[in-house]
Structure 1
Amino acid sequence: MEGVYRFLLTPRWWGINVFVLLAIPFCVFMGSWQLSRFEGRVQDHRAATEQAAAGRDEAARPLRSMLPVDKSTVGRRVTASGRYGEQLLVPGRELDGKRGFYVLTLLRTDAGRALPVVRGWLPGTADSARAPAAPAGEVTVTGALQASETPGDNGVAAQGGLPAGQTAAISSASLVNLVPYRLYDAWVTLDKADAGMRAVPARAPDGTGLDLKAFQNLGYTGEWFVFAGFVVFMWFRLLRREVEFQRDAALGLVPENPQQTPVASG
């Protein structure tokens, strides 16, 4: 290579060039991967929304045929029979922008397990005196199948120190310490709420919503592509400075190797 660009053949610039040639594809790959994760979450959200909408119109199926709960069964209509037992309240739940609580009753089935059933929602502070009693005798419930909640996800608070008869999350892990039953790792929200309460809509399973994690993926996508552009920008900037230095050195304006410039003796 002739002229001022001969410096590109020096070991220092070989190292710089190799770093740039490796860094740019890596950044593009990571950005594309994060973008694919965001697009996957968008697709999951769309599929879950469509499934929840379709589930409201489909015929209810027996509970046992829809277990275990996964993304393909969440929101599907199920039916189960048994007798209501213990009743709990789930405080701090919003519906249509209003704060209130769920009324959760355990349905003891013939299979020897209890199914948590959200019979409805009431506004205001959780109060057992306001919660309607469950119907007596043998009942058959129909509603949307839901996966056990995880505290911290989907707005579920990880509250501690709740009064007796209340639970923060609807999950077998939480309820097993509160009720004397073997539990299904699932719960159901009724199509039609009982006794003056409002029905709780089914929701998409965890990880399928356009939540903070989804937009983090989108943010990481931008960061990786910006970093790739920054690498290119810095390479051209270094190249320009080196070219200017070589030209100045050729004109005698600066020494070609400042480290070898003799020091004047006094």
Structure 2
Amino acid sequence: MYRFLLTPRWLGILALTLVAAAVMVLLGNWQLDRYEQRTAVNERIDAGSRGTPAPLRDALAAPTGGAGSVGPAPAERVEWSRVTATGRYDAANVVLIRGRTVDSKVGFEVLAPLVLTDGTAVLVDRGWVPPAPGGAMAMPQVPALPTGEVTVVGRVHPTEPGGAGVDRRDGRLETRRVTVDKIARKLPYPVHGAYLLLDEQTPANDPAFRAVPIGHANNWQNFGYVIQWWLFAAMSLFGYGWVARREARRAAGLDAPKEPVDRAAEPATPA
């Protein structure tokens, strides 16, 4: 019944089906890898919210270059962990990150370099402020930095990819993304290879700032894609088998269509 499967036509259909199924399985495996990566990020975020702050030096290696250089990026295991650092804010090099959304409102995140005793600095994201009246890009009112020694506790945030140039406007640096290496080029000291999302500060941070929320990665979307691609692979194989079986039954006459009944030839039913 199934000798027709060895014909060139059916061998070609089988080859295409197997290739399609293999590609779908590989796509499912790729999404599974993405799911595991995002799950690991979410676990680090959750662990960081509960962890005891460690000294900055335990999480980030200090930069060793000159002014404008950047230190090594943090290891994955310390991303989103809580660290503490003490230094003095550099009020001359505040950085505004425009076009940032908190609670569905567009405004600015405000970064300030915290200069440490060794002469290096780490960028600290103090929080979010709304723009001034006049539009989302209007220069905001930024609360003054505390003077003197400051101790901060914050989450280690890896540098953001891409990003445009860094410009100076009204005495402040301004850019679109927190790309540490590009910001560091505008600063007169070496900078650590990640920045800190402020959790706590001594003296206390100005209440005008809103804390920048840390969003969890949507790992369940990737898991849904895993199921989707694997189901498509199974359906393609099932579809090939179903079509082959139907063809075999048709060739064997098992699924021959029934002859239509000629109603006109039937005797009339007596009244």
Q: Tell whether the structures are fold-level matches, with TM greater than 0.5.
A: yes
> Which residue of structure 1 aligns with residue 149 of structure 2?
138
Aligned match for 2:236, one of 230, 236, 242:
230
| 1:188 equivalenced with 2:181 (yes/no) | no
Note the aligned Cα RMSD (angstroms): 3.6
Matched to 2:221, the amino acid is F
Q: Contact between 1:37 and 1:217, CA under 8 Å: does it hold in 2? A: no
Give TM-score scaled by structure 2 length.
Answer: 0.68
Superposed, 1:169-184 pairs within 5 Å as: 169-184=177-192
> Which residue of structure 2 aligns with residue 122 of structure 1?
129
Runs of 5+ consecutive residues of structure 1 not aligned to the other structure = 152-157, 249-266
| 1:47 equivalenced with 2:37 (yes/no) | no
Give, in angstroms, the shift of residue 103 of structure 1: 1.5
* SS at 1:119 equivalent: strand
Superposed, 1:1-266 pairs within 5 Å as: 5=1, 7-8=3-4, 10-12=6-8, 15=11, 19=15, 22=18, 26=22, 29-30=25-26, 33-34=29-30, 36-37=32-33, 39-41=35-37, 43-55=39-51, 58=52, 60-67=53-60, 68-85=73-90, 86-124=93-131, 125=136, 130-151=141-162, 158=163, 164=169, 165-192=173-200, 194-201=205-212, 203=214, 209-210=217-218, 215=221, 218-219=224-225, 221-245=227-251, 247=253
> Which residue of structure 2 aligns with residue 252 of structure 1?
none
> Which residue of structure 2 aligns with residue 256 of structure 1?
none
> Which residue of structure 2 aligns with residue 255 of structure 1?
none
Give, in angstroms, the shift of residue 80 of structure 1: 1.6
Alpha-carbon separation, structure 2, partners of 1:166 and 1:111? 26
Q: Deviations over 1:98-122 (max 9, x none)?
A: 2221111111222232211112221
* SS at 1:89 equivalent: strand
Change (3 A) 1:126 1:88: farther
Give, in angstroms, the shift of residue 76 of structure 1: 2.2
Matched to 2:59, the amino acid is M
Matched to 2:84, the amino acid is T
* SS at 2:39 equivalent: helix
Query: Percent of aligned positions with the same letter in both sequences?
Result: 23
Q: Contact between 1:121 and 1:199, CA under 8 Å: does it hold in 2? A: yes
Change (3 A) 1:72 1:202: farther
Runs of 5+ consecutive residues of structure 2 not aligned to the other structure = 61-72, 255-271
Alpha-carbon separation, structure 1, partners of 2:228 and 2:21? 15
Alpha-carbon separation, structure 1, partners of 2:124 and 2:12? 63
Q: Contact between 1:189 and 1:202, CA under 8 Å: does it hold in 2? A: no
Alpha-carbon separation, structure 2, partners of 1:28 and 1:120? 43
Give, in angstroms, the shift of residue 175 of structure 1: 0.3
Give TM-score scaled by structure 1 length.
Answer: 0.69
Give, in angstroms, the shift of residue 186 of structure 1: 0.9
